[in-house]
Amino acid sequence: MPAKRKSSSRNSAPELLFGDLWEFDPAPESAAPNLKDTYSLFIGGKEVAPRSRNYFESVNPATEKALTRIPAAGKADIGAAFTAAESGYQNYWSKLSGKERGKYLYRIARLLQDRSREFAVAESLDGGKPIKESRDFDLPMAAAHFFYYAGWADKLEYALPGASTTPYGVVGQIIPWNFPLLMLAWKIAPALAAGNCVVIKPAETTSITALKFAEILQEAELPPGVVNIVSGAGATGQLIVDHPAAKKIAFTGSTAVGKAIMRSTAGTGKGLTLELGGKAANIVFDDAPIDQAVEGVVNGIFFNQGHVCCAGSRLLVQESIAKAFVQKLKARIATLRVGDPLDKNTDIGAINSKGQLDKITELVASGVSEGAELFQSKCSLPKQGYFFRPSLFQGVTQSHRIAREEIFGPVLSILTFRTVGEAIEKANNTAYGLSAGVWTDKGSKILKMSTALKAGVVWANTYNKFDPTSPFGGYKESGFGREGGKQGVADYLKINA
């Protein structure tokens, strides 16, 4: 509906009235996702039906309708995948020079770019994220990781200078549902560049782009067994972790499952890297550029519906500006458009699954019952699908569950501070240590904060900035090991004694 015009004096332009009268026309993405009715496992370079004969449905969280059938790999399938990976390593991958391995990675990157529109639509359909994010962030970043690590494949001696290294051989990789294809790229690209073959499992609610990725690998004519893609739930993941041929496990997911995997691999001699949860502080000082900081806070918590391990889910705002800042923040939140993930105007898409929606709802209820003050956008929500209003809590204390636990949804907890020391103490008062943000006009304060904050990544006057050259990973219960940069490839190499 067009905005109404108010008549004004004869010589001036009519004034546009926004507010409730102003609506965006739908702008649906038109590219076809080219989904199959039923997907196969990808083992030894071939698409194969699961020996388990078990399948489950992948559901579109915006419509609650099934999109396709996904195979649930069982013990025999995982055994076949590791046999294929060992063969891929011995017969092909270990025999290629770094330069030749790099060529395959470049080819995969280019093919992914060629089909990025199609993959972006599939990602948004399956996971619920807005098309503008899958199109402008997930897909370009996934391709960028393959391009970047292609460059490392023939330069491994510079990843750990002076050390003699070998690849692990066969690596088991398990990824979560929040950035399905991007997490796959973070895992596969450095592992292959370092000379390993992989068995990888996507998360059960978002397996489609991983299984579609098998088409890219076939187009790239990657030798058989170098990458094997097996879908299934936690039990399938456990079979990967326990398989004796997996010489290293690379896991991204929740801290609880990460701890269980650490127990399973203890004493086995397997390598392990864990990329786990977070509860990041986004800290705004009174000398910050306020409007930019409001945008940064919004991006920090509402990007990908807040399904982000490094989401700035705890806003620490200096007391002297807190009232004005929160007022601006509320006004900005009220403008966010929640709805169809495939609409190019959508800011916040669907919550990934019914289970995740229930978890967010339960944690928000705990915030209310523990005494925090809830503010939610009044935006209209689609009648069907899993959606949650962008929300913030004021009056939050350190002991509230919403200040301590990862909500993994579009919910911000606001705390205040008076001094730099108090900001550092509150920011670090968490079991996690993945990321943090600092907003201030003072360079010296940025340097002090970035040293004092116990977080793998500290962004200054920006948030959620990623680049394949930059290592990402956590401290404390956010895990260990790094993805991205030379550290990312070094984590797939063993140092020879």
Instruction: Rank residues 260 and 381 by Cβ distance to ligand NAD and give the closer one.
Output: 260
Stretch in the footprint of ligand NAD (CB under 6 A) among 129-137, 160-168, 174-182, 383-391 = 174-182
With a CB cutoff of 8 Å and minimum separation 6, the contacts of 176 are 183, 203, 252, 253, 254
316-343: string of b/e by CB count within 10 Å (b at 16+)? Answer: bbbeebbeebbeebeebbeebbbbbbbb
Measured from the CB atom, is 310 or 414 closer to ligand NAD? 310
In 165-285, beta strands by DSSP E: 165-167, 170-174, 197-201, 227-229, 248-252, 271-275, 281-284
Burial class (CB in 10 A: 0-12, 13-18, 19+), 2: exposed
- Pull the structure tokens for residue 16: 């546009």
Min dist CB 491 to ligand NAD, Å, is 13
H or E element at residue 205: none
Contact criterion met (CB below 8 Å) for 196 and 167: yes
Options 133-141, 143-151, 273-281, 445-453: segment touching ligand NAD (CB under 6 A): 273-281
Q: Nearest 5°: phi and psi at 165? A: -130, 160
Distance (Å) of CA 166 to CA 69, 94, 98, 156, 497: 39, 10, 12, 10, 11
Active site includes 309? yes
* Of 79, 98, 140, 234, the one binding ligand NAD by CB under 6 A: 234
State the minimum distance, in angstroms, from the CB of residue 258 to ligand NAD. 7
* The token pair that represents 212 in the structure block: 């579609």
Among residues 209 and 394, whose Cβ is nearest to ligand NAD?
Answer: 209
Quote the least distance from Cβ 307 to ligand NAD, whole Å: 7
Q: Measuring CA to CA, how many Å separate 324 from each of 127, 294, 330, 334, 390?
A: 35, 11, 10, 16, 19
Q: How far is the CB of 295 from ligand NAD (least distance, A)?
A: 23
**Residue 218 burial (CB count, 10 A):** 15
Q: Which two tokens stand for residue 362?
A: 């339960």
Residue 275 near ligand NAD by CB under 6 A: yes
275 is catalytic: yes
Query: Whole-number minimum distance, CB 148 to ligand NAD, in Å?
Result: 17
Q: Determine the interface stretch with ligand NAD among 9-17, 169-177, 325-333, 389-397 (rule: CB under 6 A).
A: 169-177
Binding of ligand NAD by 237 (CB under 6 A): yes
299 vs 345 by CB, closer to ligand NAD = 299
Interface with ligand NAD includes 233 (CB under 6 A)?
Answer: yes
Q: Could you say whether residue 260 binds ligand NAD (CB under 6 A)? A: yes
Q: Which residue, among 332, 346, 334, 304, has the nearest Cα to 26 in the 3D structure?
A: 346
Q: 102 vs 190, which CB is nearer to ligand NAD?
A: 190
Pick out residues in 108-167 that bind ligand NAD (CB under 6 A). none
- Based on CB atoms, which residue is closest to ligand NAD, 111 or 199? 199
Say how many residues make up the chain.
497
Q: Is 82 in the site for ligand NAD (CB under 6 A)?
A: no
Dist. CA 196–CA 227, nearest whole Å = 9
Nearer Cβ to ligand NAD (203/214) = 203
Distance CA 318, CA 187 (A): 38
Give min distance, CB of 275 to ligand NAD, in A.
Answer: 3
Judged by beta carbon, residue 175 or residue 214, the one nearer ligand NAD is 175
| Orientation of helix 139-152 relative to helix 180-193, angle to 10° | 10
* Residue 261 binding ligand NAD, by CB under 6 A: yes
Near ligand NAD by CB under 6 A: residue from 176, 306, 385, 488: 176
Burial of 435 (0-12, 13-18, 19+ CB in 10 A): buried
Which residues from 192-231 bind ligand NAD, rule CB under 6 A? Answer: 201, 203-204
Nearer to ligand NAD, 102 or 300 (CB): 300
- Binding span for ligand NAD by CB under 6 A among 31-39, 136-144, 146-154, 253-261: 253-261
**The one catalytic residue among 118, 133, 309, 310:** 309
Least separation in angstroms between residue 220's CB and ligand NAD is 24
**Subset of residues 423 to 482 that bind ligand NAD, contact rule: CB under 6 A:** 434, 474, 478-479
Q: Give the CA distances from residue 416 to residues 100, 349, 370, 403, in Å, rounded to whole numbers and listed in that order.
A: 54, 29, 18, 12
Which residue out of 133, 204, 275, 406 is catalytically annotated?
Answer: 275
Angle at 428 between CA 440 and CA 184, to 5 degrees: 90
Q: Which residue is nearest to ligand NAD (CB)?
A: 237
DSSP 13: P
β-bridge partners, 170? 197
> Judged by CB under 6 A, does residue 174 bind ligand NAD?
yes
Q: Which residues contribute to the site for ligand NAD (CB under 6 A)?
A: 174-178, 201, 203-204, 233-234, 237-238, 241, 252-254, 257, 260-261, 275-278, 309, 406, 408, 434, 474, 478-479
Residues noted as catalytic: 275, 309
